[in-house]
Amino acid sequence: MKSYTVTANGIRQFVVEEGEGAPVILLHGFPETHFAWRYQIPVLSRHFRVIAPDLRGYGETDKPACGYDKRNMARDIRELMRELGIEKVALVGHDRGARVATRFAKDYPELVDRLVVMDNVPTRIVARDLNAAIAKAYWFFLFHLVPDLPEALIAGREHIWLRHFFSDWTYDPSTISGEAFDTYVRAYQAPGAVRGAMADYRANAEDVAQDLEDAEVKIACPVMSLWGNDFHAVGKLFDMASVWAEMADDLQAHPIEQCGHLPQEEQPEKVNQLLLDFLEGWCGK
């Protein structure tokens, strides 16, 4: 696996890459980095050119003060593709990365052959259906919107903050532990890292407005939605097959049992097989 940086859309983006052939881009979610794909990259790279960037504000990618609306974050990926000489892609996104990937698929339909979204309820649907139960499950959406306070409370306590999410969001609370947990803690202890993640959430109003503009436009390419069937804020709270049927006509929907919010880390073998099956036939054109 090689790693490098590319300046695209005005920021320096950190990328890991492995393999040759048709390009597959993996977009991580919160509270993660490209490290979330450590179980997928070795398997997918036997068949594809696999590219996993750190999103704007995360990991080793730049963390500017602005530009976190999903249209601009999708533009980050568009310009990264341009710099890497990629004309068309299969796109895989989890959580926040799925929001970027969904916006990318709507803004650049000619550039996406197929799309995978993992454990994600689209932003406008969360906002549209918000009630007491959803607000309780999505408390962090609201907390992260508060200017400056989350950064002040989390500073020096990144391990407590992350431990909550990784324990609460997984079927087996010990899934992210040891060196994996330490890797994420180090990433979020870096200067600007918590602020970058908060900025991603603080673009929520812009994201909803963008989603409402083309709410009636279905995603043009084939879509596969995967989710952890045991996650209280997604699989237990939403009818995910119906949610994504609103977004795409050509849809595969797969709940993953004994799994929370992090399917690619909690059930990597199941996820890898589903990805390989869905990506079969992708030749880069």
- Paired with 18 in beta bridges are 50
Catalytic position from the list 95, 119, 200, 211 = 95
Could you tell me the CA-to-CA distances from 112 to 108, 168, 216, 250, 282 in Å, in that order?
A: 7, 33, 19, 14, 11
Contact 233, 261 (CB under 8 A): yes
* C-alpha–C-alpha distance, residues 77 and 53, integer Å: 9
Active site residue 254: no
Specify the DSSP element, H or E, that contains 128. Answer: helix 123-128
Between CA 269 and CA 278, with CA 274 as vertex, the angle to 5 degrees is 150
- Residue 262's nearest CA partner among 223, 234, 224, 222 is 234
Active site residue 113: no
Helix, strand, coil distribution of the chain in percent, nearest 5: 45, 20, 35
Active site residue 201: yes
Catalytic position from the list 58, 184, 188, 201 = 201
Q: What is the DSSP letter of 217?
A: P
For 34-85, the DSSP string reads GGGGTTTHHHHTTTSEEEEEPPTTSTTS---SS--SHHHHHHHHHHHHHHHT
Q: Are strands 49-53 and 11-18 parallel, antiparallel or unpaired?
A: antiparallel
Q: Any idea which residues carry the catalytic annotation?
A: 95, 201, 261
